[in-house]
Amino acid sequence: MLVARPDCPAISLKDIEPFAASSHVIPFLAMSSKRTCLVCAGPTVLLLTLIVGSTAAEKYLLYHVRPNDARGMRELRKLQMEDHKYQVDFWKEPNHITDFADIMISSKNALAMERLFGRANITFEIRVPDVEKLIIRNERTTKKRKTYGRDGRLHDDPILDSERKYLKGIA
């Protein structure tokens, strides 16, 4: 039986960790309230409380940017050197003015980065609005391909198949 009671006193996460490994503990977290009571089902009923913030999963966007002048290029280089500070990840860096860069940016920093791009004469567009969804979709596609064979081929090319047989024969 799982019950949520927001009026219970809070308990630290360290107090809960020993119970988390138990198969008798079934946690219930209500993300809508700041305090949530946790009732566990099993031989003993435990009443635990967690402070849970209603935080949504952070999204990451992939920006395709292009510096239009030397100032824009300098700003991108500076951003690249301080990527940890702004929580950005350069997937492709620009090599010269008018060359593009692909930058993954946290959704919480996206607006600030767009302002920076505007001030530095850097054109930009969002290529991937949710990088996590793209990665998950690509992983599913890769798994489907692997079901056809170890190398992802359907083995329907007679020339490649005959070469493979020949190479196995001489090895």
Residue 121, domain member (yes or no): yes
My answer on whether 26 and 81 are in the same domain is no
My answer on whether 47 and 77 are in the same domain is no
pLDDT at 164: 77
pLDDT at 143: 73
Q: What is the mean pLDDT of each run of 10 residues along the chain (171 residues)?
A: 41 43 40 39 36 59 96 96 92 93 95 96 96 91 66 65 75 62
Residue 8, domain member (yes or no): no
- What total number of domains does the chain contain? 3
pLDDT at 156: 67
Q: What is the pTM of this model?
A: 0.53
Tokens in use for 17? 């960790």
User: Residue 29: beta bridge partners?
Assistant: none
Residues 6+ apart with CB under 8 A from 148: 154, 155
Domain hosting 22: range is 13-51
pLDDT at 107: 94
pLDDT at 58: 86
My answer on whether 107 and 146 are in the same domain is no
pLDDT at 150: 58
pLDDT at 23: 40
Look over the chain and give the mean of its residue pLDDT values, rounded to a whole number: 72
Instruction: Please tell me the distance from the alpha carbon of residue 75 to that of residue 126, in angstroms, as a whole number.
Output: 19
DSSP class per residue in 97-141: TT--EEEEEETTTHHHHHHHHHHTTEEEEEEES-HHHHHHHHHHH
CA distance readout (Å), 33 to 1, 5, 50, 97, 104: 20, 10, 10, 50, 32
Burial-class residue 85 by CB neighbours within 10 Å (0-12, 13-18, 19+): exposed
